């Protein structure tokens, strides 16, 4: 077994040691670089341009947390998504790159005729709502979530992004108590079945209420399909993120409400988003 790099070694050796400890991760080197940049108080790009630095002692505390499979975003307190850096932490679902497929689909659909009103059901830390408001500078949006903790992050993110006047957030159970018509509705609801196996960094740390949706993972889609029909403005469009095995089942639910449905795939070619019009 190779010896660990000395704690007095430079950044390059420390990154190698840390990455070797993150064998459970799909991106061990990236994880190490993000933690090092955070410990140094610099951007990752700046770190990559200059590896001749002393390693801050706090780095190894961060490494120990990651070894316990705590999400990197919870350790650093932020995650980049679309054009934004969003604050995130325990109680809020970590934004995923796969969810950018939904943003791309919505932006493409409304190109040349931007929506005025936007609704994000299950907004979490404001991920989809704020990304789209950054694209549609004249739009206003409402984000709804059942988690007060998640909404605390969402409101902070809106303020940090200069969108507090265009983004409003309310605590609620999907569409309960909502009225009016929205030009664009987006949602990334829980879609994991109760018997599905998740990585420990997700299962042990991220909120179960943002992950699981009944035995087949479809419980919330059953609620959302009629809710979207009720709240979508004439000529509007809704975009729903799905699990990669759920396209057929969720399409059927939406078609049952009279929608025409289009499938969008993520960068890996997996079914990821349904557009309902």
**150 falls in which pLDDT band (50, 70, 90)?**
very high
The number of domains in the chain is: 2
On whether residue 57 sits in a domain, the answer given is yes
Position 244 scores a pLDDT of 93
- Examine the domain organization and report whether 136 and 211 are in the same domain: yes
Where residue 152 sits, what CATH number does that domain have? Answer: 3.40.50.150
**Whether residue 205 is found in the same domain as residue 240:** yes
3 band by pLDDT with thresholds 50, 70 and 90: very low
Task: Let me know whether 101 and 196 are in one domain.
Answer: yes
Residues 64 and 130 in one domain: no
pLDDT tens for each residue of 221-246: 999 999 999 999 999 999 999 999 99
Instruction: Specify the pLDDT at position 48.
Output: 92
Q: Are both 259 and 189 inside the same structural domain?
A: yes
Q: How far is CA 259 from the centre of its chain?
A: 26
Within a domain: 222: yes
Domain assignment of residue 77, yes or no: no
- 63 shares a domain with 109: no
In this prediction, residues 174-178 reach a mean pLDDT of 95
Based on the fold, state whether residues 34 and 100 are members of the same structural domain: no
Quote the pTM value: 0.91
pLDDT value at residue 121: 98
Q: Is residue 81 included in any domain, yes or no?
A: no
* Residues 60 and 109 grouped into a single domain: no
Confidence of residue 197 (pLDDT cuts 50, 70, 90): confident
Backbone angles phi, psi at 138, to 5 degrees: -100, 0
Question: Looking at the chain, how many residues does it have?
Answer: 277
Assigned domain for 97 exists: yes
Question: Both 99 and 61 in a single domain?
Answer: no
pLDDT tier for residue 9 given thresholds of 50, 70 and 90: low
Q: pLDDT > 90: what percent of the chain?
A: 90
- pLDDT tens profile 80-134: 999 999 999 999 999 999 999 999 999 999 999 999 999 999 999 999 999 999 9
For 211, list phi and psi in degrees, rounded to 5: -115, -50
Q: Clarify whether residues 155 and 266 are in a common domain.
A: yes
Residue 44 belongs to some domain of the structure: yes
Its domain, for residue 97, covers: 89-276
Contact 107, 86 (CB under 8 A): no
Asked if 43 and 35 count as a contact pair (C-beta separation under 8 A), the reply is no
The rounded mean pLDDT for the chain is: 94
Residue 84 lies in a domain: no
Say how far apart CA 192 and CA 170 lie, in whole Å: 24
Q: Are residues 243 and 120 in the same domain?
A: yes
């Amino acid at each position: 077994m190779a010896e660990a790099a000395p704690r007095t070694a430079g950044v390059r050796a420390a990154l190698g040691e840390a990455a070797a400890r993150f064998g459970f991760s799909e991106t061990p080197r990236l994880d190490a670089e993000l933690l090092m940049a955070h410990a140094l108080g610099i951007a990752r790009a700046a770190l990559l341009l200059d590896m001749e630095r002393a390693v801050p002692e706090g780095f190894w505390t961060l490494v120990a947390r990651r070894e316990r499979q705590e999400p990197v975003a919870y350790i650093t307190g932020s995650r980049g998504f679309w054009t934004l850096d969003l604050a995130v932490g325990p109680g809020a679902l970590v934004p995923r790159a796969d969810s950018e497929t939904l943003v791309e689909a919505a932006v493409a659909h409304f190109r040349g005729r931007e929506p005025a009103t936007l609704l994000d059901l299950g907004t979490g830390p404001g991920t989809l709502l704020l990304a789209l408001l950054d694209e549609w500078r004249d739009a206003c949006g409402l984000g709804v979530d059942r988690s007060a903790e998640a909404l605390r992050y969402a409101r902070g993110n809106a303020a940090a992004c200069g969108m507090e006047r265009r983004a409003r957030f309310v605590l609620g159970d999907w569409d309960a108590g909502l009225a009016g018509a929205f030009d664009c509705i987006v949602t990334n609801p829980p879609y994991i079945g109760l018997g599905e196996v998740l990585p420990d960094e997700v299962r042990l740390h991220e909120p179960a209420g943002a992950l699981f949706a009944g035995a087949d993972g479809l419980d919330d889609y059953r609620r959302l399909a009629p809710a979207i029909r009720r709240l979508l403005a004439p000529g509007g469009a809704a975009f729903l993120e799905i699990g990669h095995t759920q396209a057929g089942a969720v399409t059927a639910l939406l078609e049952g409400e009279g929608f025409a449905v289009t499938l969008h795939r993520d960068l890996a070619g997996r079914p990821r988003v349904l557009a309902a019009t």
